[in-house]
Amino acid sequence: MSLERKLLAEVLGTLWLVLGGCGSVVLATNFMPETNLGIGLAGVALAFGLTVLTGAYAFGHISGGHFNPAVTLGVLTARRIEAREAIAYIVAQLVGAVIGTGIIVIIANGVDGFSVGLGRGESDLAINGWANLSPGGYDFWAALVTEIVMTFFFLVVILGVTGKEAPIGFAPLSIGLTLTLIHLISIPVTNTSVNPARSTGPALFVGGEALEQLWLFWLAPIVGAVLAGLLHHYVIEERAVTVEGYG
């Protein structure tokens, strides 16, 4: 598979993730609140899970369906991808995230009164943050721990269900359900990142404090992903080889 095809798949997959996930927040969360037609927290969690599930089935056979710099770095740490290719993947993912956010802004501008920002009545485009940018008002340390731990387990699942011994064809379903669960847990804390590209797209459009806090949503997911990659490569995969050798 050519690198160009892989990168296009990563652009489209990340675009789809941001459009479906963040778009559900902007366009559908509080839709017609007087009639309770909005999708709410559970709906947003499901939307993010569905974008990864469908995107992985559509593009996973081309690029592996990362759509997330943390996933790419976790896979790199587990020695399943080369560093040069990983860098190209991350650039492609950022491009997809920015385009996806731009499409959300274009669509949302189709109704009077929409504007991007952090002021009253403005849309924050589902940015991630802590303190006053946290949906539940959680502090920095809660946000840091949440993003590290959630990304860690996200990568543990991804690396596990895409391993050589995993059942064929079920990986996208497992990964999508895991991302849904992660959002159900962590939306109140950080609005759920576990994906630096997903965080970067909205932050670039909103600016201000969203950009100032963006560094955490690169650092914490990367730490969690690298820890998972190390665990998988040196403990889980090694143990599987050892058991098989004595079988």
Instruction: Say if CB 117 and CB 206 are below 8 A apart.
Output: yes
Report the percentage of the chain scoring pLDDT > 90.
81
Per the DSSP assignment, residues forming a β-bridge with 57 are none
Average pLDDT, the chain: 92
Cβ contacts of 133 within 8 Å, gap of 6 or more: 118, 124, 127, 191, 209, 210, 213
Report the percentage of the chain scoring pLDDT > 70.
94
Mean pLDDT of 92-108: 97
What is the per-residue pLDDT across 190-235, written as a single tens digit (0 to 9) for each? Answer: 999 999 999 999 999 999 999 999 999 999 999 999 999 999 988 8
Overall pTM surpassing 0.85 (yes/no): yes
Q: pLDDT band at residue 245, thresholds of 50, 70 and 90?
A: very low
Q: pLDDT band at residue 1, thresholds of 50, 70 and 90?
A: confident
Q: What tokens appear for 104 in the block?
A: 């959300």
Quick check: 246 pLDDT over 50? no
What is the per-residue pLDDT across 113-154, written as a single tens digit (0 to 9) for each? Answer: 888 988 766 789 999 999 999 999 999 999 999 999 999 999
Q: What are phi and psi of 64, to 5 degrees?
A: 95, -10
DSSP letter (8 states) at residue 167: P
∠ CA 5-6-11 to the nearest 5 degrees?
Answer: 95
CA Rg value for the chain: 18
Cα pseudo-dihedral 14, 199, 101, 110, rounded to 10: 140
Of 101, 142, 131, 90, nearest to 16 by C-alpha is 101
Distance CA 66, CA 71 (A): 6
Least confidently predicted of 73-82, 102-111, 194-203, 229-238: 229-238
Q: pLDDT band at residue 238, thresholds of 50, 70 and 90?
A: low
The three-state secondary structure class of 38 is coil
Q: Which residues of 34-57 are buried (b: 16+ CB within 10 A; e: fewer)?
A: eeeebbeeeebbbbbbbbbbbbbe
